[in-house]
Amino acid sequence: MSIIVAENLSKSYPVAVKSPGIKGTITHLFRRTYRSIKAVQDVSFQISPGEVVGFLGPNGAGKTTTLKMLTGLIHPSSGKVTVAGQTPFHRKEAFLQKITLVMGQKQQLIWDLPALDSLRINAAVYNISDKEFQRRVGELTEMLSLEGKLTQPVRKLSLGERMKAELLAALLHRPHVLFLDEPTLGLDVNAQVAVRDFLRDYNQRYQATVLLTSHYMADITALCQRVLLIHQGSLMYDGSLDGLLERFAPYREVHIELAQPLPIEKLMTYGDVQLLEGRSVHFMVSREALTRTVSKILTDLEVIDLTVTEPPVEEVIGRVFQAGVV
């Protein structure tokens, strides 16, 4: 049974239209006209309990609008949505106890107070007993490596430490569903890795369902086996990350280092030469021809080193968005 179900989910916003000049201003003041902007159009998907799903799209694609509908912050214009058996925009206590929303550019911790004080407020809101509060804070503090940090004012924590403390606050009530909107935004590489490791451990320990948006493809490749791609408000792809590569990247990258330089004319017979620098050559080879081409290269040429790699995921996804088709 799915824990998140979206059926033909849509959201439109009325936007006032104003003509230029004084006449347009006066008309706009007394008799406004509107046009409808479709932020999300007929989006449908289902997510099973315990899944970690990446939600990808360029800026303005409708990701955050969709998350806000799933968390009940805004009402959909049409369609149906249920999360953990509840209708989000009813905002019932039973629903709020089961979900959390973390936005990388927003904070819930009080800036000038120790994070522990904000956590006590959260515990009171969610009716968590003192004993359970201590147990959960201790467990999450250990998982997030925040020992000794929660008694410091939030403003004195590093950006990575603040993000970890925000995650702790968001997960104190142990939600079943995590909506994460750019949780590693602005963090350095080490902090990003720490947050990813924590989310992976948390998902495995509590079987929490995670819907994750991120512009850092390393977040997606490290955590998500399934991805949803949204573009201009419409869902373009729903499937495995490997399936996305198979479908939209019908080639592999072959890197070779030769014993001695060769002219590009000779090398072009083995594939599409993308880069030639001295003895280093970078080919694009179709998946169907990969085995045959690699065998021919090793037979015909004096090769010191050879590697075969997938194209970068961000490059593949960028190509999908640019084409605008599935």
Average pLDDT over residues 210-238: 91
What average pLDDT does the segment 175-183 reach? 94
When pLDDT is averaged across residues 222-241 and rounded to a whole number, the result is 92
Question: What's the mean pLDDT in 313-322?
Answer: 75
Structural contact between residues 307 and 255, judged by C-beta atoms closer than 8 angstroms: yes
Mean pLDDT of 182-193: 87
Q: Is pLDDT above 90 for 310? A: no
238 band by pLDDT with thresholds 50, 70 and 90: very high
Would you say 163 and 183 are in contact if contact means Cβ atoms under 8 Å apart?
yes
pLDDT above 70 as % of the chain: 98
- Judge if pTM exceeds 0.95: no
The whole-number pLDDT of residue 324 equals 60
Q: Which of 78-82, 104-108, 191-195, 204-208 has the lowest mean pLDDT?
A: 104-108
Does pLDDT of 123 surpass 70?
yes
Q: Which domains does the chain have, with CATH numbers?
A: 49-245 (3.40.50.300), 250-309 (3.30.70)
> What's the confidence (pLDDT) of residue 127?
94
- Copy the structure tokens of residue 325: 């088709």
230 DSSP β-pair partners: 235
| pLDDT above 80 for 139 | yes
Which of 271, 73, 252, 101 is CA-nearest to residue 170?
Answer: 101
Residue 152 pLDDT grade (very low, low, confident, very high; cuts 50, 70, 90): very high
Q: Which tokens in the block code for residue 226?
A: 């399934």
Whether 283 contacts 272, CB under 8 Å: yes
